[in-house]
Amino acid sequence: MLEHKRRLAALLMEKSYREGDFVLASGRKSDYYFDCRVTALSAEGSWLIGVLFNDMLKGRDIKGVGGMTLGADPLVSAVTVVSHERGRPLHGLLVRKEAKGHGTGQFVEGLGNFSAGDAVAMLEDVVTTGSSVCKACDRVREAGLAVVAVCAVLDREEGGREKLKKAGFDLLALFTRKELLALGG
């Protein structure tokens, strides 16, 4: 696992990590920006994320994984594909930012693969304040599923872990910024 984690860190540093002056989605200013999608949408990055999240979730009794669209889309796909290869299939679901304006008007896509009360893990690319993933967790719970884990590629260590803890979730992250710089630098 450490070999995979080191390789993912190197890819993330090459493709997704930038230093400079940035404004984040939360409105906060930052001296670095982390665009995980670039790595998650590369073939090797997708596979590594799928492998590492599957390893992280091993032993947890879950039926699937989900997350807020658009950031979690490639993460969910990577995890579901690798889970099938490993003989422990996990289904995927995606949470919309706004309810679908036609058809069923759903916030959550993929529910047809789940039954009421099924346990799922929520995936996030970057956790800063935790607001996005908390909103996604609320929508998944409102849809009748149980959220039993929250996993992120990067925990920016800017209050998100604490917000998730108050909401009843422990954050499992592949990296903090310090870990990412140490492994991928």
Q: What is the full DSSP assignment across 41-95?
A: TSHHHHHHHHHHHHHHHTT---SEEEEETTTTHHHHHHHHHHHHHTT---EEEEE
Ranking 9-18, 22-31, 46-55 by mean pLDDT, the lowest is 22-31
* Residue 76 lies in domain: 2-184
- pLDDT tens column, 110-119: 999 999 999 9
Supply the pLDDT for residue 102: 62
Tell me: pLDDT of 26 over 90: no
Number of domains in the chain: 1
Tell me: pLDDT of 36 over 80: yes
Mean pLDDT for all residues in the chain: 95
Q: Which DSSP category does 129 fall into?
A: S
- Read off the pLDDT of each residue in 167-176 and give the average, rounded to a whole number: 96
The whole model's pTM is what? Answer: 0.95
Q: Looking at residue 38, which CATH number applies to its domain?
A: 3.40.50.2020
From 163, 116, 167, select the one nearest 142 (Cα to Cα): 116
Supply the pLDDT for residue 24: 87
- Read off the pLDDT of each residue in 141-155 and give the average, rounded to a whole number: 97
